[in-house]
Structure 1
Amino acid sequence: MVTSILKKISDKYRTWPHKIPFALWGYRTSIRTATGETPYYLVYGMEAIQPVELEIPSLRILLESQIPEVNWVQARYDSLVMLDERRLNALHHVQLYQKRIERAFNKKVKSRGIKEGDLVLKLVRALLPVDPRGKFKSNWVGPYLVKKILSGGAVRLTDLDGNDLANPANLDQLKKYYPLEGPHSQML
């Protein structure tokens, strides 16, 4: 996040070290979507005083400068007592935000309709030694038999000889395998 702020405010690559304090200030004093609060408030229990508020006093600064010190200390103590409640609200806000993100993600997930006993192909993600086929090599291996579907989308697979695969696979790395039927199946 700070790097994206630095990219916006640095016009030359040599100036970025001098702009770090400004980028950090901007990050710490802007409201985070996940918490609904600024990081500065969650740490210190009060909103940061912007540098411009010192030059041109805002209403908040004027009111705080006119109250007696005893009343200011009492108000500060009360705000610190309420800080735990604000932090709990921020935590609740984070949990709601995570659920919204999860719902948005789950809308895009396509169910592949894979169940125990189906034949599937598995996506090859690991880099293999140099393959002479190059970019024309197959991205899928198998077929495998789905032995058991575990919680969280993990799947135990078995090859067609009955040997279990050592590691479970994710459902998103599998697709159904439909064996060829008809006159062309004898050619294989």
Structure 2
Amino acid sequence: MVSHHRKDWADQLDDALWAYRTTYKTTIGTTAYRLIYGKACHLPVELEHRVYRAIKQLNFDHHLIGRKRKLQLNELDEWRTMAYENSLRYKERVKESHDRHIKQAKSFQEGDQVLLFNSRQKLFPGKLKSWWHGPYLVTHVFTHHNVKISDPQNGTFKVNGQRLKHYFPGNNTLQKNGGNSPPYVPP
């Protein structure tokens, strides 16, 4: 809708906002217009015809108008409650979908031997060197997968459990400290 030089975007803003507010949102189960005003949005042509019919139907009876307005306010509360519930259901579905793709956390016990992933290692200087350093000894397991590990040379420090993997001493493919790289010193 904007011309090729894109300088008239402000002129199109009202139309874009109208389209956004009157579009049905799946997450809330209604339109933003209906949540704000409590009724469906009608085009100007429809409004002329409806206003004439409403005036003719109500015939300016103040009691009927008052009752109708109370009913509309109650409907508005119901629409907002429904939109809130729909939004919660949508968020739960998205969370379930997200949680299905999360890997299960590794569980560590005190006394386990682990290897620590060194994310500070540069890619090119030793690209064939191992990114895993260790083995370290697990001294304490905290909540939320935090683990305190110790090494006689580097002391004890706390790391996230996602940066660790189990070390099995019978496997000779990985030498101590990842081959010939220097020992990892935590920040």
TM-score by length of 1: 0.65
Matches within 5 A, 1:35-114: 35-54=28-47, 57=49, 63-68=53-58, 69-70=60-61, 71-114=64-107
From 156, 167, 187, the counterpart of 1:178 = 167
Query: Structure 1 residues 148 and 11, CA, compared in 2 at 3 Å: closer, same or farther?
Result: farther
C-alpha spacing 1:53/1:90, structure 2 compared with 1 (3 Å): same
CA distance in 2, matches of 1:121, 1:50: 64
For the structure 1 residues 163 and 37, does the alpha-carbon distance in structure 2 shift closer, same or farther, using more than 3 Å as the test? same
Greater relative contact order, per chain length (Cα 8 Å cut-off, separation 6+): 2
Q: Match for 1:159 among 149, 154, 179?
A: 149
Distance 1:116 1:47, change over 3 A: farther
Matched ranges for 1:125-136 at <5 A = 133=124, 136=127
Deviation at residue 32 of structure 1 after TM alignment: 1.6
RMSD (Å) for aligned C-alpha atoms: 3.8
1:38-62 deviation line (CA, Å, top 9, x unaligned) = 111112212222245347x5xx666
Name the larger-Rg structure: 2
- Deviation by residue 1:73-103 (Cα, 9 ceiling, x = unmatched): 5323211123222211211111111111111
Q: Compare the two structures and name the one with the higher helix fraction.
A: 1
1:108 aligned partner, one-letter code: H
Gaps of 5+ in 2: 180-187
- Gaps of at least 5 residues in structure 1 are 1-8
Greater strand fraction, Structure 1 or Structure 2: 2
Q: Distance in 2 between matches of 1:138 and 1:183?
A: 15
TM-score, length of structure 2 as denominator length: 0.65
